[in-house]
């Protein structure tokens, strides 16, 4: 996760800080559900810690819930839905 901080000075002795976050992924959307990474998958209501991104050894990122459903739906060894390499969680 990458954080960006903005500071705004309103008076000489008063500061207001505003923070914004975004996932640090190569793509902007999940390759399975096609929802934005700064949003959440179709199973979740709010983005963030309850809907994290998971990277594979191939460096493709997916919502945790999406890749778990994908892996569990495969009849044999699971493959990355993007590059078709054997799926392994990045460790």
Between 9 and 65, whose confidence is greater?
65
Instruction: Tell me the pLDDT band of 45, cut-offs 50, 70 and 90.
Output: confident
- Between CA 25 and CA 58 the distance in angstroms is 13
Does residue 38 or residue 30 have the better pLDDT?
Answer: 30
CA–CA separation, 76 and 56 (whole Å): 18
Residue with tokens 């699971």, as numbered in its chain: 78
> How do residues 50-90 score in pLDDT, each as one tens digit?
888 889 999 999 999 999 999 999 888 899 999 999 999 99
pTM listed for this prediction: 0.68
Domains of the chain listed by start with CATH number: 2-73 (3.30.40.10)
Judged against a pLDDT cut of 50, whether residue 1 lies above it is answered with: no
């Amino acid at each position: 996760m990458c954080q960006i901080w903005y500071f705004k000075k309103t008076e000489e002795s008063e500061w207001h800080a505003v923070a914004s976050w975004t996932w640090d992924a190569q793509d902007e959307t999940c390759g399975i559900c096609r929802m934005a990474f700064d949003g959440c998958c179709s199973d979740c209501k709010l983005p963030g810690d309850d809907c994290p991104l998971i990277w594979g050894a191939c460096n493709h990122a997916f919502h945790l819930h999406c890749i778990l459903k994908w892996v569990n739906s495969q009849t044999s060894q699971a493959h990355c839905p993007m590059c078709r390499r054997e799926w392994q969680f990045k460790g």
